[in-house]
Structure 1
Amino acid sequence: MWMPRRPIFKSGIAPWNEERLSEIKPSLFTGIYLDFEEVARLRPDLILAVSSGVNSNEYRMLSRIAPTIVYRSGPWQASLEEQTELVGEALGRPDAAANLVTSVERVLAATRAENPVLTGKTFAIGTYFNGFSVYLSADPRVAAFEKLGLKLAPGIASLSTHYPRKTLLALSGEQLNRLDADILIMWYTGGNQSVAEHQPLFRTLKVVERGSYVPLTDPTSVWAMSALSVLSIPYEIPKIVPRLAQAAERAENSGGSPHE
């Protein structure tokens, strides 16, 4: 199991996974690069790399170590359904996987029904690392937010048609206004939030000015929505949705953002 170089969680395991791993002591790898020798030392029976950016060369290397299951869609594009289905098939538990997907769909549908203010509101989700980046329609987290009734901001939807295989796109200064939606969600690590929020162009976005901007800085929220799974969503939804609803109400009361 790969984790950031500096573990985010004390145990190294995200809280939504801890209960299921309570009797297991997983080996954790740090850093962002695959260490094939370390993987081989564990003598795995199966390698799961469904939600990953594994390329063809890395897949060949991993497959020499053990049977390897990767995405069907594309790098970092596997939806919740795809991830869970592939893992269920690989483990011989397709029914259990299908039940988990159904459970999450019910959570999202119930949350949408309980928060009608979200339906039809436009949104953008991005981050900041030496510049602003935005997630496009191919990214799984975009699909998850859409199931709450939200619609991808027109400016981002337009970019998605130009880059259909991309999940994340860096924005130039003149493109920053594409983040202007009814709701803007940004996740940050380290001191990136302060740097981003001090950018003059960012501060002039209407979504920021009216307070419909939702920054995610708590590690649990950041990783629950970044490493999406059928376990992380039910864990995080109760915390993040009230903030989204408040942002949506502010957009509604102000007349909303300009739509391209």
Structure 2
Amino acid sequence: MRLAPLLAAAALALSLAACGSSDDDSNDASGASGEGFPVSVKHTFGTTEIESEPQRVVAVAWSNQDTALALGVVPVAMPKVTYGDDDTDGLHPWVKDKIDELGGETPALFDETDGIDAAAVAKAEPDLILAVHSGLTKEEYETLSKIAPTVAYPDKAWGTPWRDAIELTGQALGKTDEADQLIGDLEQQISDAVAKRPEIQGKSAVMSWIDPSDLSKIGYYTAFDTRATFLNDLGLETPEFVEKASADTDQFFLEISAEKADELAGADIFVGYGDDAALKKVQADPLLGKVPAFERGSAALLEDNTPLAAAVSPSALSIPWMLDDYVTLLADAAAKVK
């Protein structure tokens, strides 16, 4: 089960060149405060003051455009998708669908392969930068804040729960009521989906990564990674070994050697990126093959670099798009647990 590069942006390195705000009068930002403005949004680096209703929103990092779109705001610029883009248009299908639904124009796309492109962000002339789900450093936040008010993550890098992402984005956009409604709607959709597959309730699951080319170690996502917490939303429990390891780290991903594979016995289900061939290789390994979940095949496998593999890093738009398929995949794995 291979690591999906969903968080390639975790190695963010802002280009400091050409990052100043533009003086071009063509900026569409409104000078008049909308209803409910100004607003103050607290996050890990302090408080961001947003004086008037944003007119030119730019999203950076991962899934922040999803949240804005779900609240009815089409960003003027966003990162080009490099993972899970099945038609190579730079957009996830749920993003394209929502832009079409809103009748908006496709945002300008910038490349974040080597980190956030501050020059491209500045070129879009934003009056708000959304980085609610991101791994911004203090330096990177300060650089972006010189361009426009920037809202960073509330607590842990790459660990913003989807509900918090919606709440913070709603505050920044002046759409708190819409944000509350959206959270309620998504919670109802989740409840309805899991009610159809009761076999997943009470099972324990870990979001994992095993590289079939190197079975000397196994990786897993910690308890606060959004993919892991979404498993909890679906009624799955976090294994004790993940809880203990997560209490002592601020990392979203950890590894242990295969010699310690017996520590993984507490997981009923392994969720990961890969295919049946990769699982068979793991099952044949003298160490990892003895892990009960691998031995019985209770693994939920996400085909790498597909929209579904990207969607399970949950967002306001990806949740309804992938929910039924993901719950089915997990239920099929849970059915193998005796």
Task: Please state which band the TM-score falls in when normalised by the shorter chain.
Answer: 0.7 to 0.9
Measure, in 2, the Cα distance between the counterparts of 1:47 and 1:112: 35
Write out per-residue CA displacement over residues 79-121 of structure 1, whole angstroms, 9 at most, x where no aligned residue.
Answer: 1111001111111111111111111111122223222211111
Aligned to 1:237: 323
Aligned positions of 1:82-101 closer than 5 A: 82-101=164-183
Aligned positions of 1:146-165 closer than 5 A: 146-163=232-249, 165=250
Aligned to 1:168: 253
Write out per-residue CA displacement over residues 5-53 of structure 1, whole angstroms, 9 at most, x where no aligned residue.
Answer: 5772322111112122222121222314112112112211211011111
Unpaired segments of 5 or more residues in structure 2? 1-77
Amino acid aligned to 2:205: F
Amino acid aligned to 2:323: I
Amino acid aligned to 2:231: F
Aligned positions of 1:55-204 closer than 5 A: 55-128=137-210, 132-163=218-249, 165-180=250-265, 181-188=267-274, 198-199=281-282, 200=285, 201-204=287-290
Asked if residue 25 in structure 1 is aligned to residue 106 in structure 2, the reply is yes
Residues 6 and 126 (structure 1), Cα distance of their counterparts in 2 relative to 1, 3 Å cut: closer
Q: Note the aligned Cα RMSD (angstroms).
A: 2.2
What's the TM-score once normalised by structure 1's chain length?
0.86
1:3, CA displacement in angstroms? Answer: 3.6
1:162, CA displacement in angstroms? Answer: 2.3
Aligned to 2:94: 16
Aligned to 1:40: 122
Higher helix share: 1
1:132, CA displacement in angstroms? Answer: 3.1
Residues 13 and 112 (structure 1), Cα distance of their counterparts in 2 relative to 1, 3 Å cut: same
1:197, CA displacement in angstroms? Answer: 5.7
- Which of 198-207 and 41-50 deviates more? 198-207
1:152, CA displacement in angstroms? Answer: 0.8
1:134, CA displacement in angstroms? Answer: 0.7
Aligned to 1:257: none
Unpaired segments of 5 or more residues in structure 1? 253-260
Measure, in 1, the Cα distance between the counterparts of 2:208 and 2:335: 21
Larger RCO of the pair (alpha carbons < 8 Å, separation 6+): 2
- Larger Rg belongs to: 2
1:195, CA displacement in angstroms? Answer: 6.3
The 3-state SS of whatever aligns with 2:108 is: coil
Q: Does the Cα contact within 8 Å between 1:4 and 1:32 map onto a contact in 2?
A: no
Write out per-residue CA displacement over residues 147-197 of structure 1, whole angstroms, 9 at most, x where no aligned residue.
Answer: 22110112212211222x222112222344444411110025xxx986676
Q: Does the Cα contact within 8 Å between 1:124 and 1:179 map onto a contact in 2?
A: no
Out of 251, 256, 259, which is 2:337 matched to? 251
1:77, CA displacement in angstroms? Answer: 1.0
Amino acid aligned to 1:43: E
Measure, in 1, the Cα distance between the counterparts of 2:319 and 2:221: 18
Q: Does the Cα contact within 8 Å between 1:80 and 1:230 map onto a contact in 2?
A: yes
* Percentage of identical aligned residues: 31
Measure, in 2, the Cα distance between the counterparts of 1:140 and 1:56: 22
The 3-state SS of whatever aligns with 1:215 is: strand
